[in-house]
Chains A and B, each alone.
Chain A
Amino acid sequence: MITVGIDVGAKNVKVVILKDNDIIGKNIGLMEIDRKKSVVEAFESCLASTGITKKDIHRVIATGAGEGIVDFAHRKSSVVTCDALGIIKLQPLVRTVIDIGANETRAIKCDQTGKVLDFAVNEKCAAGSGAFVEAMARAMEVSLEEFAGLSLTSSKSIPINAQCAIFAESEVVSLVHEETDRNDICRAVHDAMAGRIAALARRVRIEKEVALIGGVARNRGMVDSLKRELEVDFILIENPEYIGAFGAAFQGAVISE
């Protein structure tokens, strides 16, 4: 059976193709103004890379913030459900998932079957999501990778406002003007964000094992700050941004007709 999961995020669309529960293709594409076109392109490009045609597909499951635009999906499912299913399939011991995407952060508590027991999503502020780190990296005039690397070399803790992305940015600018070490500023940004995410995660009462997924899980500086804040070791996945799409594709394989 071939199933496809499409996770339409705020910044990227992720596509995973499963054949008999094995990943045979994956692709990521940027979400542009023509969102539908972005989804179709990412989907078709993924199909092309595997040699599979649309006729071969048994089911397409859409998830993510833009799930509604996937009009060829057989079913739509929330990203919370897909994250939980996806992680349990890969890491059966996980009971708490923290998914940090570009626009949204989610903390999910699940059981061994991937059933969601509780979840929390960040409220109306970007200060706890990936878009915030990207904005801060731009403010510091470094790439995201450099930003993460600089953060890891800092051993100093500088508190900055974690309540609002805009205020935080102006604080970063002030720190730059005060000639604070760049690595310390980078860490301060991650620490501030980690504080917000930890508060969100604690709302679901963290239970081990804890997986960190979403694109921001690639940012080692962020992982380091969050690890310090929550005092847990995370299970890190090889392709953390694909878990939602993988969970969606997996759901497509297991749901009854």
Chain B
Amino acid sequence: MATELKAKYPTAPLKCWAKVKELRQKYYQDYALAHEKGGIRWSGGAANLEPVPAGLGRDVYMLTGEPYGASIAYDRAFAAKCHAAAEQAGYPRDLCAYMRNYWGSKLLKTYAFGGPFPEPDFYWQFHLCCSHGKWYQEAARIEGKGRPVFITDVVVGPYFKRNERTGHFYADPNKNGIRYIADQVHEHIERLEKITGRTYQDELLFEATENYFNMTSLWAEICILNQAIPAPLDEKTIFSLYVLGALNKSSKQYVDFYRELRDEVQDRVSRGIAALSTERARIMSDIQPPWGFLEIFRYIEQFGCVSVGSMYSINLQFSLDIKEDGTLRPLPTLKERGIELKSRDQCLMLLADHLASNLWGQNMQEHTLKNYIMEKIYEQWHCNGIMIHYNRGCEGLSLNVAENRLYLIEKGIPVVTYEGNMGDEREFDLAETLKRIDTFMETLGLK
């Protein structure tokens, strides 16, 4: 039971809210209807090299597996059917929950957004997570029509190193590793031309790449605006906004939306408009939430506590740069870096570099960078505590979470953990989790 709190700040609904919902719905519809317009459909991992297929034409539509799996998770009844279908087909419960949701949807031949599952013309996945490396290979096997599967190996070693003198991390890219990724993509483009019968258009690749970097940078700007007190956005809302970056970072429409959103959030900060009128404490979270139970982020609000972001929502687009003093800032856009796109190779090298800089990729090799970034977010977003999800549904991103927790605890940061699953409601206990959060709120002096 929380103390009755008085409103300290004005609050207002987000003007962009309806638009982001509309864009998301349109994304899934456009993908489903692509063939009716003579377009191309492809499916693969989010945070992929989506500007690359964009070079095949303006009628290329994609279905990224992770947000699709999360959408299924949000609909617990459909998710249960997908789990059952995947398990009947012999896939074990401990595999990635997004992947099982996606496979289940294919096996049921049912699209979460209505109608039959729209099969893609090809798959493209990057090999970062061990489960995800097999995701689309298995998806193609389920369909049984021999769809092409493109796989890009991106494991080229840690991108960031710690400066032993200052303790801060800095980028130290492995040039040969980046060339290795880019060369694979060159080969993929040649194969794409053969498979689709289309001529690859570099101008479209350049345009999509500009959008990609603009979008990642804009998202970082939006997240950094949430450092303000009161926070203009809460985490549950952020989850609905960040998703566009997981759907397609090469979309001009999404760039325009993020620009509009950035301006609106900036305006909220200037006018002191809060996401939570009673804000008196702030927390951050870690990786994916249990998507079917996002009410946990509303639950904390009765204590005057707002979740201002997470490692996941802030970093999924790999859009932060670390300044020499450890301050996190938006990754500069190509224009800000003075880069003009002139060749396919230059473009692919930039995209490969960005993919190699993926924080989550480094975390699968060593966890100290994630410790550091979590600590920096905690400090720079003015948090009072951290909520960590021991997510049984993601073997990739949950790697090292216990190490992260220990590091943060040793730094004197209050941390609570709860066990669950991002996409499988059977592994989440709402009552127990709320009880644990309740205790955490009490230890933060909020009850």
Contact = CB atoms under 8 A, between A and B. Distances in A.
Contacts of A93: none
A65 B435 contact: yes
A124 B432 contact: yes
A80 B402 CA distance: 21
Contacts of A79: 439
A152 interface: no
Interface string A99-122: 000000000000000011011110
Nearest to A65: B435
Interface residues of B, number: 18
B409 A80 contact: no
B18 interface: no
B429 interface: yes
A81 B439 CA distance: 7
Nearest to A124: B429
Interface string B25-58: 0000000000000000000000000000000000
B438 interface: yes
A81 to B, nearest CB: 5
Contacts of A59: none
Contacts, number: 37
A78 B442 contact: yes
A75 interface: yes
Interface string A54-79: 00000000000100000000011111
B335 interface: no
B149 interface: no
Majority-rule SS of B interface residues: helix
A123 interface: yes
Nearest to B432: A124
Contacts of A78: 435, 438-439, 442, 447
Interface string A169-186: 000000000000000000
A140 to B, nearest CB: 29
A81 B443 contact: yes
A205 interface: yes
B293 to A, nearest CB: 14
Nearest to A84: B443
A35 to B, nearest CB: 15
Given A75-B1, A124-B432, A80 B439 contact: yes
Contacts of B436: 121
B408 to A, nearest CB: 10
B419 A77 contact: no
A157 B123 CA distance: 53
B1 A76 contact: yes
A118 B409 CA distance: 8
Given A76-B1, A78-B438, A124-B419, A116 B443 contact: yes
B322 interface: no
B156 interface: no
A99 to B, nearest CB: 12
B415 interface: yes
Contacts of A75: 1
A80 B415 CA distance: 14
Contacts of A77: 442, 447
A38 B432 CA distance: 22
Contact of A119 (B1, B402, B443, B447): B443
A27 to B, nearest CB: 24
A77 B443 CA distance: 10
A118 B439 contact: no
By Cβ-Cβ distance, the 10 closest A-B pairs, closest first, are: A78-B439, A116-B443, A80-B439, A123-B419, A76-B1, A78-B442, A81-B442, A124-B429, A118-B409, A78-B438
Given A80-B439, A116-B439, A116-B442, 7 more contacts: A75-B1, A77-B447, A78-B435, A81-B439, A118-B414, A121-B436, A123-B419
23 contacts: A76-B1, A77-B442, A77-B447, A78-B435, A78-B438, A78-B439, A78-B442, A79-B439, A80-B439, A81-B443, A116-B439, A116-B442, A116-B443, A118-B409, A119-B416, A119-B443, A120-B417, A121-B439, A123-B419, A124-B419, A203-B402, A205-B406, A205-B409
